[in-house]
């Protein structure tokens, strides 16, 4: 069968009435920016891009989340901002790395879309040559708003027009949804274009594989202790079978494994992070991943409610995340709801 490029796929989606020309251009621009990030990550030490970004004096640069920034965090953020500034498809951008939304410079035309991104998720893995990724989400700019502020981005995940991620692993792969199924594109490095590699991905409903940072176990709430305790008890426990565990510490890589062979991912609430509401960011990580996973037949909750229904209260709001194979997400969520 003839390979289908991302551009061809976007034209098909326009003809099907799933997207308009502006959203098609937006995805092309994001894909192009991600190719540049892929090149930068692939160079590793040879590109001089490993290590911490420099801040004031000798200190490392700290982002809005209070986290030290890696050089590649900063480079990836700049690549995405620059690529998206001039095309006329955006009203504004918001990045996990920046406190406030970035307006489109006055010299360029403005569009009707809002773009949110985590430019380089899992960046603690950069220096050890383990997969990292970019996550993005697209919203409609509310009618009549010419200078979008943070409040205009605070739309529930159900309002997303598109969501996607790019994983920079052994292959660079983009996973994309417009709310009509989830599809995968692999970067053909020789040709320089993303090529459709899986259409209408389906996540198996049942799984024997889970992903969680077990070092936080002692801090978890009782329902999480119970759920994981039952998995660890294996065939002698109440589940009557053995489960395997994986944890990359790059959400993009963990989600990509789940999209590919099933599994379930948890970043639950725990005593250490209770005050901040969770570890992962609703607008930059949880919402786009939830749409991608739901569109592939999986489920995504906070342990209490569907992620896509959470009313956002802040651009950098954090939430607990349970996502992946439907049966396990539903069971773990049920354990939490039972005790509330």
Applying CB under 6 A, which residues contact ligand AHG? 67, 121-124, 213, 249-251, 254, 279
Give me the least distance between CB of 284 and ligand AHG, in Å please: 10
Tell whether residue 122 is among the known ligand binding residues: yes
End-to-end CA distance of the chain: 52
Tell whether residue 229 is among the known ligand binding residues: no
Q: How far apart are CA 295 and CA 313, in angstroms?
A: 25
Tell whether residue 124 is among the known ligand binding residues: yes
Give me the least distance between CB of 216 and ligand AHG, in Å please: 7
Q: Which residues contact 320 (CB under 8 A, 6 or more apart)?
A: 267, 268, 269, 277, 278, 279, 280, 302, 303
Tell whether residue 242 is among the known ligand binding residues: no
Give me the least distance between CB of 137 and ligand AHG, in Å please: 15
Minimum CB distance to ligand AHG smaller for 121 or for 294: 121
Tell whether residue 328 is among the known ligand binding residues: no
Tell whether residue 100 is among the known ligand binding residues: no
Minimum CB distance to ligand AHG smaller for 67 or for 127: 67
Q: How far apart are CA 133 and CA 90, in angstroms?
A: 22
Minimum CB distance to ligand AHG smaller for 146 or for 215: 215
Minimum CB distance to ligand AHG smaller for 84 or for 250: 250
The runs of H, that is alpha helices, within the chain are: 6-15, 21-43, 71-85, 150-153, 222-232, 251-261, 287-295, 326-339
Tell whether residue 106 is among the known ligand binding residues: no
Residue in 41, 250, 213 with CA at minimum distance from that of residue 125: 250
Give me the least distance between CB of 336 and ligand AHG, in Å please: 20
Give me the least distance between CB of 209 and ligand AHG, in Å please: 15
Cross-sheet strand order for the sheet of 244-245: 244-245, 209-211, 264-267, 321-324, 299-301
Angle made by CA atoms 29, 31, 36, in degrees to the nearest 5 = 95
Residue located via tokens 């919402």: 287
Task: Using CB atoms within 10 Å of the CB of residue 276, give its burial: 0 to 12 exposed, 13 to 18 middle, 19+ buried.
Answer: middle
Give me the least distance between CB of 172 and ligand AHG, in Å please: 17
Tell whether residue 78 is among the known ligand binding residues: no
Minimum CB distance to ligand AHG smaller for 122 or for 303: 122
- Residue 115 DSSP SS3: strand
Residue facing ligand AHG at closest CB distance: 251
Radius of gyration of the chain (CA): 20
Query: Binding-site residues for Mg(2+), please?
Result: 96, 118, 120-121, 285
Task: Enumerate the known binding-site residues.
Answer: 96, 118, 120-124, 213, 279, 285
Bind-site residues for substrate: 121-124, 213, 279
């Amino acid at each position: 069968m003839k390979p289908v490029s991302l551009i061809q796929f976007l034209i098909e989606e326009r003809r099907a009435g799933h997207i308009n020309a502006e959203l098609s251009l937006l995805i092309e621009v994001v894909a192009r920016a991600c190719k540049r990030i892929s090149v930068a990550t692939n160079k590793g030490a040879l590109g001089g891009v490993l290590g911490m970004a420099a801040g004031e004096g000798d200190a490392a640069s700290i982002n809005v989340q209070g986290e030290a920034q890696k050089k590649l965090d900063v480079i990836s953020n700049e690549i995405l901002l620059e690529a998206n500034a001039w095309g006329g498809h955006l009203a504004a951008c918001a990045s996990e790395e920046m406190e406030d939304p970035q307006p489109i410079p006055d010299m360029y035309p403005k569009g009707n879309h809002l773009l949110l991104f985590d430019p380089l998720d899992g960046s603690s893995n950069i220096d050890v040559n383990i997969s990292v990724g970019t996550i993005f989400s697209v919203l409609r700019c509310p009618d009549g708003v010419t200078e979008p502020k943070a409040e205009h981005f605070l739309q529930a995940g159900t309002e997303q027009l598109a969501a996607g991620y790019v994983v920079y692993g052994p292959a660079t792969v983009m996973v994309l949804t417009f709310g009509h199924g989830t599809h995968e594109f692999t970067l053909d490095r020789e040709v320089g274009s993303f090529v459709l590699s899986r259409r209408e991905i389906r996540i198996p409903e049942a799984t024997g594989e889970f992903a969680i940072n077990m070092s936080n176990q002692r801090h978890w709430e009782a329902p999480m202790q119970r759920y994981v305790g039952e998995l660890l008890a294996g065939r002698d426990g109440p589940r009557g079978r053995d489960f395997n565990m994986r944890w990359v510490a790059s959400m993009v890589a963990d989600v990509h494994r789940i999209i590919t062979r099933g599994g379930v991912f948890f970043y639950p609430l725990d005593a250490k992070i209770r005050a901040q509401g969770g570890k992962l960011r609703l607008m930059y990580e949880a919402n786009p991943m939830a749409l991608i996973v739901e569109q592939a037949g999986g489920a995504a909750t906070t342990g209490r409610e569907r992620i896509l229904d959470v009313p956002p209260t802040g651009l950098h709001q954090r939430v607990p995340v349970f996502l992946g194979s439907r049966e396990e997400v539903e069971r773990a969520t049920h354990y939490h709801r039972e005790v509330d």
